[in-house]
Amino acid sequence: MTRNVSEYPPLEAYGLVGNLETCALVSVDGSVDWCPLPHLESPSVFARLLDAERGGRFGVRPAAAYESTQRYLDRTNVLRTEFRTAMGDLAVTDFMPIVEDGGERIRPPTMCRRVTCERGRTEVEVAFEPRFDYARAETTVEARDDGLLAAGGEESAFLTTDRPFDVSDGEATATVTLTEGDAEWFVLRYGDAEPVADGTAGRLLDDTVSFWRGWAHSCTESECVFGGPWHDQVVRSGLVLKLLTHRETGAIAAAPTTSLPEDVGGVRNWDYRYNWIRDAAFTIQALSNLHHGAEARSYFEWFLDRCRAEDPERIQPLYGLHGDPDLEERELEHLSGYRGSSPVRVGNGAIHQRQLDIYGELVLAVYETVSDDGTLDRDDWDAVRAIVDYVPEVWREPDAGIWEVRGGPRHFVFSKLMCWVALDRGIAIAEEHGFDAPLDRWRAVRNEIREAVLERGYSEERGAFVRAFDDDALDATALLVPFVGFLPFDDERVQRTVEAIRTGLTTEEGLVRRYDGDDGLPGEEGTFVLCSFWLVDALALSGRVEEAREVFLGVLDYANPLGLLAEVIDEDGGVQVGNYPQAFSHVGLVNSALYLGRAAGRTGAGIEPMGLELGRGTGASEE
């Protein structure tokens, strides 16, 4: 049945398209409900996802009652929404053009929508309701002979169509009748009033399909390290990560959306359209093992540029995709938020937080990349050395931690652990490549951190590594203790920690919450998808492979029919919440499939997974 357009579809009802500069979310009802232009960090042109009445949309759907499904064209990010009605079948193919070699750009940013009648006869409702600048600019729509010109503030967009539209109050609507075999194109170009011919749009579709299929992971599945019932979802996760990668800089957005709530109706609503440094080690590993070494290297260069440009104490946890450090958090009070979840935020206040774990994640990412391709020049080393040398000055300080809590700084165990990692991998890089470094000082501080973590970060009473020093609250980041080489997997403290998290933070369905305890915000969040994959990894590398496989398949059940995952799974309803789709969730999926593949004896090219290479360049055994 058709839905009332004032409703908010569940996040599972959306597919993602993009052009490596921005993205759009298209609902299973054929509505573009989120699209910032010209860049992912830019203000939205369509934002019905954040306000069903004011946000703006671009809808194409049958006029009659229908059932609908979505799928991607095989191994692409070209989305096809299929409608079935009593009188006929309709398909809407959505994509943002990318040429085959990825070098030439389509200017200006463009979104193409092809509408085809697959059977019988269908009447199609088209609603074009752009709202520039997060629906703050007064928008006008003007009908022209070759399309519709929309304008708001200093922005404009042109929709190519030869169909007559009724235009009123910044909205344009039309009903188009199609019979079997008919095709209709609607092509939206940002900032340009030049029409696009159907033939040109058709060529762009072919080029875009070729680009994605040329890029996507391909293999003989029976021989692939990712082989198994999840192989297609691994391929899809790689395509999601590529969509979130900026073609110019190599930076990767945490998600393409802002303010999709972790707790529906609550205030846990954040803007994730930026690059978090901590994603680096996991993302590099995931892309490399999908045989996308060029993307991993590009990302490596992006964050290494941040190291060269900033003194270590000035490095932020996140930056814009173009390297912009000015991401001041603001509230858009005129938008009601997804299902009434306010405030709607743009920018992110975490830029002002001290997050000590980022130094370990930076150096770990350098170590992983250099171990893979052996390339690190002296200028790069000078930047890395400055970071490592800064860690002894700050590791004793409290911080906001990996979860960016807003309840005040604490001595988070994971932050201390990653300070240890920064020194450990810095020592390894210097030794393996013959770089100058104050190794005696670094080793001494590494030992101090290790002793502090073992003494104050492990609770005998709880039987686990805990969230913060001298605390008994659990934190899922403790699952990573063996992965970074701090302790081996067979250490009793590691195995007790896995069990404590298995019983204390994990639901019956195998989904894992991030932590116990207060974080300075009202309300509660659900289970965090990435943490659930961390549990899979820990079980797999602890020899509990069947148990890991069971948990992994259980998490995959929550992906939508397209294979997309948000940040959080709501414990009560089992639905996806939080920003969507989430890069970290898909990184976790790829890495867990990798660990399961390796545990089953499969091999593959790329970086050796953390946890399987612990004897190389780490100090765990000598301390």
Identify the weakest region by mean pLDDT among 79-83, 216-220, 373-377, 462-466.
373-377
Amino acid 474: pLDDT? 97
Q: Is the pLDDT of residue 623 over 70?
A: no
| pLDDT tier, 614 (very low <50, low <70, confident <90, very high otherwise) | very low
The DSSP output letter for 479 is: G
> For residue 159, is pLDDT > 80?
yes
Crossing angle of helices 293-309/280-289, nearest 10°?
160
Residue 185 tokens read as 């194109």
Q: How far apart are the first and last CA of the chain?
A: 64
Task: Give me the pLDDT at residue 141, please.
Answer: 97
321-327, long-range: CB < 8 A, 24+ apart: 321/39, 321/40, 321/41, 321/246, 321/249, 321/251, 321/253, 321/273, 321/274, 321/275, 322/39, 322/41, 322/246, 322/248, 322/249, 322/251, 323/249, 323/251, 324/41, 325/351, 327/271, 327/274, 327/351
Percent of the chain with pLDDT over 70: 94
User: pLDDT band at residue 250, thresholds of 50, 70 and 90?
Assistant: confident
Q: How confident is the model at residue 472 (pLDDT cuts 50, 70, 90)?
A: very high
Per-residue buried b or exposed e for 462-498, using 16+ beta carbons within 10 Å of the residue's own CB: bbbbbbbbebebbbbbbbbbbbbbbbebeeebbbbbb
Residues 6+ apart with CB under 8 A from 90: 61, 62, 66, 82, 83, 115, 116, 117, 118, 122, 124, 178
Assess whether pLDDT exceeds 60 at residue 618.
no
All structural domains of the chain with their residue ranges:
11-214, 228-599
By C-alpha distance, which of 72, 25, 26 is closest to 562? Answer: 72
CATH number of 11-214: 2.70.98.40
Q: How confident is the model at residue 473 (pLDDT cuts 50, 70, 90)?
A: very high
Averaged over 128-140, what is the pLDDT?
97
Q: Domain 228-599 adopts which CATH fold?
A: Glycosyltransferase (1.50.10)
Do 11-214 and 228-599 fold alike per CATH? Answer: no
Instruction: Please check whether residue 473 is in contact with residue 517, taking contact to mean a CB–CB distance below 8 angstroms.
Output: yes
Average pLDDT score over residue span 70-76:
97
Please determine, for residue 63, whether its predicted confidence score (pLDDT) is greater than 70. yes
Query: Confidence class of residue 530 from pLDDT cuts 50, 70 and 90?
Result: very high
> How far is the C-alpha of 141 from the C-alpha of 169, rounded, in Å?
8
Q: CA–CA separation, 582 vs 598, rounded Å?
A: 25
Q: Span 61-70, mean pLDDT? A: 97
Buried b vs exposed e over 413-443: b needs ≥16 C-beta within 10 Å? bbbbbbbbbbbbbbbbbbeeeebebeeeebb
Angle between helices 357-373 and 378-394 (to 10 degrees): 150
Flag whether pLDDT at 162 surpasses 60.
yes
**Averaged pLDDT for residues 196-222:** 91
The answer to which of 369-383, 415-429, 574-588 has the lowest mean pLDDT is 369-383
> Given this model, what pLDDT does residue 609 score?
54
Give dist(CA 381, CA 98) in Å, integer: 36
In the predicted model, is pLDDT for residue 579 greater than 70? yes
Q: Check whether 225 has a pLDDT greater than 60.
A: yes
Phi-psi sector, 78: left (phi>0), alpha (psi -120 to 50), beta: beta
Q: Kindly state the average pLDDT of the residues 475-484.
A: 96
- Nearest-CA neighbor of 582 among 264, 276, 263, 229? 276
Banded model confidence at residue 105, pLDDT cuts 50, 70, 90: low
With bands split at pLDDT 50, 70 and 90, how would you rate the model's confidence at 100?
low
**Distance between alpha carbon 373 and the CA centroid of its chain, in Å?**
25
Q: Which pLDDT does position 606 carry in this prediction?
A: 52
State which amino acid sits at residue 68.
S
Question: Mean pLDDT over all residues of the chain?
Answer: 91
Name the residue with higher pLDDT: 156 or 615.
156
* Residue 310 binned pLDDT confidence (cut-offs 50, 70, 90): confident
What share of the chain has pLDDT > 90, as a percent?
75
Average pLDDT over residues 183-200: 92
Mean pLDDT of 454-468: 97
Residue 401 has pLDDT above 50, yes or no: yes
* pLDDT for res 406: 82
pLDDT the model gives residue 292: 84
Q: How far apart are CA 570 and CA 392, in angstroms?
A: 40
Confidence of residue 33 (pLDDT cuts 50, 70, 90): very high
What pLDDT does residue 432 have? 92
Q: Which of 189-203, 295-309, 547-561 has the weakest average pLDDT?
A: 295-309
Per residue, what are the HEC states of 284-325?
HHHHHHCCCHHHHHHHHHHHHHHHHHCCHHHCCCEECCCCCC
d(CA 208, CA 214): 10
